[in-house]
Amino acid sequence: MRKHLFWHYLKEIILGLLLAFFVVIAGFLLATFFIYKYQTPSAQELMNFHPAQTSTIYDRTGTQVLYEIHGEENRKVLTHSEIPDVMRVATIATEDKNFYTHFGVDLLSIFRALKSNMETGEILQGGSTITQQLARNIYLTPEKTVRRKFMEMLIAIKLERNFTKDQILDMYLNEVPYGSNAYGVSAAAKVFFGKEAKDLTLDEAVFLASLPKAPSYFSPYGNNIEKINARYRSILDKIEVSKTVSAKAIDEAKKINVMAKIKPFFEPILAPHFVFGVIEQLEKKYGRDFLEKGGLKVITTLDLNLQKIAQKTIADGVVRNKNYNANNATLVAVDPKSGDVLALVGSRDFFDKSIDGQVNVAISNRQPGSAFKPIVYATAFEKGYQPETLISDTQTDFGPDGSGSDYIPRNYDGQFHGILPMRKALAMSLNIPAIKTLSLVGIDSAINMAQRLGITTLTDRKRYGLSMAIGGAEVKPIEMASAFSVFADDGKKYAQHMIKKIDDDAGELYTDNASGEQVISSDVARKINSILSDNDARAATFGVNNPLNILGKVVAAKTGTTQDFRDAWTVGYTPRISAAVWVGNNNSQPMSGEADGIFAAAPIWRSFMDAIPADYFSEVFTPYQDQASANQDNSILLSPEDLSNQQAAAEEMAKNALGKERKSKKKH
């Protein structure tokens, strides 16, 4: 009896569970049908959707247009016969290899995307088919949510039920954004190759097919040329696997330098390097669809007056520098009190391919030469040394340099200057005292200081030796301008940025609320400011009437020149503006032997500073408290015959100096 009841109840439970399961499934299917039938748009509405609004990028005043990111305005709808088959082949191989076999949704691709997203913990892949992308572009927002994905799938299925595969593919190729404001294959063919779409060759079609995934990132006018070429080759490999094009045609396409066929970018644009930097940030923040269709009003930090001054200064300066075999230059200016990028000229001419003008040198890695020395001395001052601390400039053997030889550096002028204050050692840009100072404070400490100031490139600490003191580590000009701006603002750091505010029709999306962080003491910053603005101290090396000395105005500046004259620098600032100038050749070809920072870069920096409004010189630097004079402590750091013993003595000296500084602060 009990056994019979057990099986009876078990049967009832199983039947109940099965019934519940079928009820849930039926409910889900019913709900899905209801959504599909009544909450998704009719596929017949496809050609009647409202055009997207243009997004506009403005200068800091919000009145001057720098660039417009258009929607439909730059589009021509082509018929099936006007779209070449090579474009279809390239697009399917790139975006959706199973396009002709799925029903609008590729379940295998979705499962692969889910697996990848679960592994990374982020929604990075969506597994969207061409039909889903078309549905999303026309009817949905770019938000990455489960609901949006579900709606995208339902609309894709409806599209597949109402249109043929060829019709869907034609719609996609007429709708998809290719970057540079080219929507649809017709506009893309004209913008990038200056031809009709029907005349596209295989290599050109493959290039265009590579763009929609990330139009700004893969733009041929940007900095990611190697990535573009790698993507181009990978698409050709996919086409080869699909066997939709002959092996001979594939081989010929692989031999072609498609980048050489790209037309110069002629669309109206102001401050192109700056603008493309802004676009890349916006694309990362909102996604390309929302950016290109959302009707955004983007207020940037750019001061158009300063930008025009910077562009003219760079253009004139490069002409003057032809005698130095220097074909390019960059200038970036930031506001020390906010981190705003006020002006950015990435090259002498954005549209000049002969100098790789599209490459933005302002955000590229270059060796800074002696322009790095203030960071080393700031580290020393933080450890207790003073501008008045004496240091010896004599021939010094710093031991093996890693190449099997001893590191015995020389000064710029080939001379030794004996015992002198750190103030003069930095102002005169002497190499040996700078290297000695780095050996005393330690490479890690100097890197920590650089990172606090905003330098992001010194990531592999094992790469760097004592030559870092004289510019042996690569930095970005924009980060050098920002780092020196920390000195300018009494040790306070603002993250450099290019966007102040973003609005759309619904209201405000983003407003920058910059807040500074005290990353070094005001006393350390003031010591650097005092030295770099001391023309008398630098006169022994650069002369009294050097380009860094602006009569009647208080400015601080430091030049830099790298080995073999591959880079020339000047970074200078007031409490209101910090500007970095780099001069050289993008391919690192050496300039002539006279192309020092003071001759090649400083005149450009000086021309810029001479032309900017007087308001940028309205404040002066606050003096530092002369601790060494107050305590009569002018310690002499002798040349280290035995580096380890000398460093131990120097560390003890630093402790003493720091202790006296603390006592002095208590007294005051």
Pairing of strands 636-637, 390-393: parallel
d(CA 220, CA 116): 29
In 3D space, the residue among 66, 80, 46 whose CA is nearest the CA of residue 162 turns out to be 46
Higher pLDDT, 660 or 374: 374
> What share of the chain has pLDDT > 70, as a percent?
80
d(CA 157, CA 214): 25
Give the mean pLDDT of 430-440: 96
Domains of the chain: residue spans and CATH? 72-266 (1.10.3810.10), 309-661 (3.40.710.10)
Higher pLDDT, 408 or 658: 408
The total of other beta-carbon atoms located within 10 Å of residue 444's CB is: 11
Indicate the pLDDT class of residue 224, thresholds 50, 70 and 90.
confident
For the sheet with 390-393, list strands across it: 418-421, 390-393, 636-637
**Residues 94-109: pLDDT tens digits?**
999 899 998 888 877 7
What pLDDT shows up at residue 665? Answer: 34
What pLDDT shows up at residue 68? Answer: 83
What pLDDT shows up at residue 334? Answer: 98
> Is pLDDT at 667 greater than 50 in this prediction?
no
d(CA 426, CA 529): 11
Angle at 72 between CA 70 and CA 75, to 5 degrees: 105
Indicate the pLDDT class of residue 648, thresholds 50, 70 and 90.
very low
In 3D space, the residue among 231, 344, 301, 298 whose CA is nearest the CA of residue 579 turns out to be 344
Q: Would you give the distance in Å from CA 287 to the centre of its chain?
A: 17
Indicate the pLDDT class of residue 514, thresholds 50, 70 and 90.
confident
Give the mean pLDDT of 80-95: 94
d(CA 189, CA 173): 12
**Which CA distances in Å does 658 have to 125, 526, 622, 631, 637?**
55, 17, 21, 11, 16
d(CA 559, CA 565): 13
Q: Would you give the distance in Å from CA 367 to the centre of its chain?
A: 17
Give me the residue label for tokens 């949905």: 140
What pLDDT shows up at residue 136? Answer: 82
What pLDDT shows up at residue 404? Answer: 65
The whole-chain average pLDDT of the chain stands at 85
d(CA 490, CA 246): 66
Residues near 633 by beta carbon (within 8 Å), at least 6 away in sequence: 386, 389, 627, 656, 657, 660
Q: First vs last Cα of the chain: how many Å apart?
A: 99
What pLDDT shows up at residue 400? Answer: 80
What pLDDT shows up at residue 6? Answer: 61
What pLDDT shows up at residue 44? Answer: 66
> Is pLDDT at 47 greater than 50 in this prediction?
yes
The total of other beta-carbon atoms located within 10 Å of residue 37's CB is: 10
What pLDDT shows up at residue 611? Answer: 97
**Residues 547-585: pLDDT tens digits?**
999 999 999 999 999 988 999 999 999 999 999 999 999
Residues near 390 by beta carbon (within 8 Å), at least 6 away in sequence: 419, 420, 421, 422, 634, 635, 636, 637
Q: Which of 6-10, 182-186, 576-580 has the lowest mean pLDDT?
A: 6-10
Give the mean pLDDT of 14-40: 57
**Phi-psi group of 628: left, alpha or beta (phi > 0 → left; psi -120 to 50 → alpha; rest → beta):** alpha
Give the mean pLDDT of 80-93: 94
- Say how many CA atoms lie within 13 Å of 659 toward its Cβ: 6
What pLDDT shows up at residue 115? Answer: 63
Higher pLDDT, 443 or 286: 443
Higher pLDDT, 561 or 214: 561
Look up the pTM and report it: 0.69
* Contact (Cβ atoms closer than 8 angstroms) between residue 385 and residue 654: yes
d(CA 339, CA 492): 10
What pLDDT shows up at residue 420? Answer: 95
Give the mean pLDDT of 149-172: 84
**Residues 12-25: pLDDT tens digits?**
667 666 666 665 56
d(CA 508, CA 532): 42
What pLDDT shows up at residue 662? Answer: 36
Helix (H) or strand (E) segment spanning residue 67: strand 65-69
What pLDDT shows up at residue 216? Answer: 87
**Residues 110-159: pLDDT tens digits?**
666 666 655 555 544 556 889 888 888 777 766 667 766 777 777 888 88
Beta bridge partners of 630: none
